[in-house]
């Protein structure tokens, strides 16, 4: 039994207030069936699927043809990954082997992405050789590619030949004035072109590529990096334009910028958005567009399900030794995928029924609350607080429970036990949970318990193994009954009013 998860802001329209009656993927309800079918089991695009399925990335195409101010080219493409991460560059042959090894070992792996470091279409031969071979040798794996868009129009024809039905374009602006503040230069027609002129060409290529993909029937997702003071006001317009052209999802990601990344923004002190600012923008765009809130800005070479990384099991020397019988693996994968799909279908049905019930219950009038959840997948609370590398943030309100975002526990930290300013991992984790009033996990240790309480975040280990939305709603009702939701917390979110 699960409560509805509302991905859209609680609708003020009359009638059914949960306009799509609570299915988790109601962000997709406005999509045509053909598209919905394509995305419903995609871990990046479907909120409930991302509890069950996984994707992986390989880095085969490290060159890039533009510069973004948030990217330090020593590391991976910041458009798709967190800054400061370095992936091992593989040859197309190694990439094919690794992908098949992972798919045989982790049957939940359904999507392979090529996303950098660099721009996959700036190195088209390496990217396309990988896709060509995988389309033939592992036809049950979906392929996706992310690009800055500059070389996209030239690649559409080739892309349409493979098993590729998802392309992600990072579009940060449609105005060259703004573009010049994000992209210092591009490499175009054998020249480096700087400033507004370069930005204008990039924008034109992105838009042209988007239109060409749509015309070919290829799904397009748009990513934008939210840069306060640069494009934050502008992204609602970007959302509108890309949607009108047929992009099916718009994913706004926060700028992550620290001086030690050595990027222009990092060094010049450009800050990233606060979780509140990000959520406000996502809320204001969601009226316009299907927003993807569950993007994890995953590590480009991460392998595994939610919150885990099994990359160490698939290093090059280990893959070398593996014997993979892919046709046997494919049989096994088919059975497991079928079982997962059946489970997802029954959960979706339950949710729809529960949503109906909830509409009939007397409505609370309390304010919305943000809660953090530690999970390793399956849609249940099953992770120890101290083991969680990331948290899922949900908002509970009288209208139900909706998924808001992921927050990395160590987003601001290089992963050492302490950072430069002497904060412990625990302190950083608690900082990452700012704005949440409760954290639900399978267990919490004594030390974190005290620190969480001191930070105004109620630790809660009472709902281990329960479905997330149901547990979040139970805690919300408890808080309401205890009168905790009558007075406002220090900072009330404007958009949550």
Partner 1 sequence: MAVKIIESCVNCYACEPVCPSKAIYEAKPHFLVNSKKCTECEGDFPVYQCASICPIEGAILNSLGEEINPPGSLTGIPPERMAEAMAEMQGH
d(CA 414, CA 86): 12
Our finding on whether 399 is near ligand SF4 (CB under 6 A) is no
Which of 122, 355, 432, 441 is in the footprint of partner 1 by CB under 8 A?
Answer: 122
Which of 45, 53, 131, 185 is in the footprint of partner 1 by CB under 8 A?
Answer: 185
Three-state SS for 147-191 is ECCCCHHHHHHHHCCCCEEEEEEECCCCCHHHHHCCCCEEEECCE
Per partner kind, with CB cut-offs from 5 to 8 A, the member of ligand SF4, partner 1, none near residue 77 is: ligand SF4
Our finding on whether 84 is near partner 1 (CB under 8 A) is no
- What is the size of the binding site for partner 1 (CB under 8 A)? 27
d(CA 170, CA 166): 13
Q: 348: which residues sit within 8 A by CB, 6+ positions away?
A: 23, 24, 25, 48
Least separation, in Å, of the C-beta of 191 and ligand SF4? 13
Helix (H, G, I), strand (E, B) or coil at 9: coil
Stretch that binds partner 1, among 64-72, 358-366, 435-443, 467-475 (CB under 8 A): 64-72
Binding mask 89-128 for ligand SF4 (x = CB under 6 A): ---------------------------xxxx---------
Structure token pair of residue 268: 């010049």
Our finding on whether 420 is near partner 1 (CB under 8 A) is yes
Our finding on whether 65 is near partner 1 (CB under 8 A) is yes
Which of 26, 78, 223, 411 is in the footprint of ligand SF4 by CB under 6 A?
Answer: 78
Which of 10, 184, 386, 461 is in the footprint of partner 1 by CB under 8 A?
Answer: 184
Stretch that binds partner 1, among 21-29, 68-76, 140-148, 433-441 (CB under 8 A): 68-76
Q: What is the CA radius of gyration of the chain?
A: 22
Residue 50 contacts residue 44 (beta carbons within 8 Å) = yes
Which of 12, 14, 15, 190 is in the footprint of partner 1 by CB under 8 A?
Answer: 190
Burial 17-33 (b: 16+ CB within 10 A, else e): bbebbbbbbbbbeebee
Burial 423-445 (b: 16+ CB within 10 A, else e): eebbbbbbebbebbbbbbbbebe
Structure token pair of residue 93: 């042959």
Our finding on whether 117 is near partner 1 (CB under 8 A) is yes
What residues make contact with partner 1 under the rule CB under 8 A?
A: 62-65, 67, 69, 73-74, 89, 117-118, 122-123, 184-185, 187, 190-192, 259-260, 262, 264, 266-268, 420
């Amino acid at each position: 039994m699960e409560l509805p998860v509302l991905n859209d802001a609680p609708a003020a329209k009359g009638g059914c207030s949960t306009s799509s009656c609570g299915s988790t993927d109601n962000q997709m309800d406005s999509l045509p069936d053909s598209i919905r079918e394509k995305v419903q089991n995609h871990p990046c695009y479907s909120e409930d699927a991302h509890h069950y399925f996984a994707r992986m990335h390989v880095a085969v195409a490290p060159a890039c043809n533009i510069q973004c101010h948030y990217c330090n080219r020593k590391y991976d493409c910041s458009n798709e990954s967190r800054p400061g991460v370095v992936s091992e560059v593989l040859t197309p042959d190694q990439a094919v082997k690794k992908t098949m090894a992972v798919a045989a070992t982790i049957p939940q792996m359904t999507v392979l992405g090529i996303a950098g470091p660099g721009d996959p279409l700036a190195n088209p031969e390496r990217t396309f050789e990988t896709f060509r071979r995988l389309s033939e040798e592992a036809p049950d794996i979906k392929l996706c590619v992310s690009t800055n868009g500059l070389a996209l129009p030239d690649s559409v024809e080739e892309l349409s030949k493979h098993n590729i039905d998802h392309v992600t374009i990072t579009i940060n602006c449609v105005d060259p004035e703004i573009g010049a503040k994000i992209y210092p230069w591009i490499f175009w027609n054998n020249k480096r072109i700087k400033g507004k002129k370069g930005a204008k060409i990039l924008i034109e290529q992105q838009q042209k590529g988007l239109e060409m993909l749509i015309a070919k029937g290829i799904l397009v997702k748009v990513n934008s990096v939210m840069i306060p003071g640069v494009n934050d006001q502008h992204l609602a317009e970007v959302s509108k334009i890309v949607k009108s052209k047929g992009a099916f999802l718009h994913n706004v990601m926060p700028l992550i910028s620290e001086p030690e990344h050595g990027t222009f923004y990092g060094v010049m002190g450009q800050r990233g958005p606060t979780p509140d600012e990000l959520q406000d923008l996502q809320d204001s765009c969601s009226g316009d567009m299907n927003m993807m809130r569950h993007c994890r800005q995953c590590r480009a070479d991460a392998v595994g399900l939610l919150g885990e990384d099994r990359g160490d099991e698939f290093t090059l020397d280990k893959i070398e030794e593996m014997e993979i019988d892919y046709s046997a693996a494919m049989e096994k994968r088919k059975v497991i995928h079928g079982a997962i799909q059946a489970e997802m279908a029954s959960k979706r049905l339950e949710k729809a029924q529960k949503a109906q019930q909830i509409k009939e219950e007397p409505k609370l009038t309390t304010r919305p609350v943000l809660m953090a959840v530690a999970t390793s997948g399956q849609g249940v609370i099953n992770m120890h607080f101290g083991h969680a590398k990331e948290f899922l943030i949900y908002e509970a309100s009288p209208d139900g429970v909706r998924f808001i975002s992921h927050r990395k526990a160590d987003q601001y930290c290089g992963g050492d036990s302490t950072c430069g300013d002497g904060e412990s991992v625990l302190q950083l984790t608690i900082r990452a949970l700012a704005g949440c009033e409760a954290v639900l996990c399978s267990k919490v240790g004594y030390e974190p318990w005290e620190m969480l309480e001191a930070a105004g975040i109620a630790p809660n280990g009472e709902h281990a193994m329960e479905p997330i939305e149901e547990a979040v709603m139970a805690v919300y009702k408890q808080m309401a009954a205890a009168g905790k939701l009558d007075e406002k917390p220090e900072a009330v979110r404007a958009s949550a009013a």
